[in-house]
Amino acid sequence: MALSLVPGVGPGRVLALLAALGSANAVMRAPVGRLVRAEGVGRQTAEAIRAWDDWPSVDAQFRRAASVGARLVALSDPEYPDLLRRIYDPPSHLWVRGRLTEADDLAVAIVGTRRASDYGRRVAEAFAGDLVAAGVTVVSGLAYGVDVAAHRAALAAGGRTIAVLGSGVDRIYPSRHAPVVRQILERDAGAVVSEFPLGAAPDAANFPRRNRVVSGLCRATVVAEAFETGGALLTAGIALEQNREVFAVPASVFTEAGGTNRQIQRGEAALATSAVDVLDAIAPQLETPKALPIRPEEPELPLNRVEQRLVDVLTTEPRPLDAVCVDADLDASTALVYLLQLEFRGVVRQLQGKQFART
């Protein structure tokens, strides 16, 4: 913990120093000349290590961790995730709230834009629900949009989920998602992890490091929805560098969020239309391959003549009420009555701006 708090000592230098000298204790006691001979360590950093003596800050970290039920899991600890240990720049340690288990060795990341559309959220929810049904742990970054939709769907389906933060584990960001963290912990349904010190703010520079942990914990990364720039595509790129599987869910050609289509077009991701595609790809990596349970077909609900007309003109993409009325040849008041009945029965979804879509 002390070594990681020395200014200028990132995870790469910690690993180099541990490899060269054997332990953090040996590193903190080594003379400057010996530290400089370690790969990737300059004299300025070596002098900073030798001069560092802020031990009260280390004690403060552990007191703060105890107050939120967090513990330190070092790279050498048996609890440290094996998949993450295999990447080229693993964190030297993680702060963990909750529980990491052997089941988390079968994990898939679901990532995407913070500005998720209804389609993007539904993709995240469908993939997360089906993956946890197959015994897969869902990993994401607790951000707005796709990330939190994936976490919530995994919890709703009774599965495990791991939230990786770009802040300290005692500083939930965004704070609006604190109830999701509470559910993970209270249900013993996964963990909240971070390599950053307790109290660390969610600074922009932290998120690329956070993203490599998201993908590093997983056998595959699924991009549910993305614009052509943003953190989700960066996470996918990191996953490729880590030699992990990457999938992208195709988007409409009429949407601005066409990042997944570009990934598929450039060969940076395999096309996925369901969790089965992901499971088929990662199954050969497993000692005991898992298959997605087959869901029984739901019986069709009887519809009256007007309801059937409305359902016939609706699609899974949202349509404004006036367009639905024109195509169904109904006035707005009549259409609304029947649309609300269909919504109550789960056949139709209503979205913002009086838009409707089939479920």
Per-residue pLDDT averaged across 35-54, rounded?
Answer: 86
> Which amino acid would we find at residue 1?
M
Does domain 305-358 sit in CATH 1.10.10.10? yes
Q: Are 177 and 148 in contact (CB under 8 A)?
A: yes
Tokens 């960066």 belong to: 234
CATH superfamily of 1-53: 5' to 3' exonuclease, C-terminal subdomain (1.10.150.20)
Lowest mean pLDDT among 58-62, 259-263, 304-308: 304-308
Judged by DSSP in three states, 163 sits in: strand
pLDDT band at 143 (very low <50, low <70, confident <90, very high): very high
Judged by DSSP in three states, 53 sits in: coil
How does the average pLDDT of the chain come out, rounded? 90
Q: Are 312 and 347 in contact (CB under 8 A)?
A: no
Contacts of 15 (CB under 8 A, 6+ apart): 75, 89, 90, 92
Q: Are 249 and 260 in contact (CB under 8 A)?
A: yes
pLDDT at 294: 45
Segments making up each domain of the chain, as ranges:
1-53, 97-285, 305-358
Asked if residue 292 has pLDDT above 50, the reply is no
Per-residue pLDDT averaged across 3-27, rounded?
Answer: 87
Measured distance CA(332)–CA(284) in Å, rounded: 54
CATH fold for the domain made of 97-285: Rossmann fold (3.40.50)
pLDDT at 315: 86
Q: What is the pLDDT of residues 183-207, one digit of tens each?
A: 999 999 999 999 999 999 999 999 9
Lowest mean pLDDT among 109-123, 149-163, 222-236, 340-354: 340-354
Measured distance CA(311)–CA(342) in Å, rounded: 9
Tokens 């869910």 belong to: 249
Looking at the chain, list the stretches that DSSP marks H as alpha helix, in order from N- to C-terminal side.
2-5, 11-21, 24-29, 32-36, 43-51, 55-68, 82-85, 118-133, 146-156, 178-186, 206-216, 231-241, 259-265, 275-282, 305-313, 321-328, 332-344
Lowest mean pLDDT among 64-73, 135-144, 174-183, 284-293: 284-293
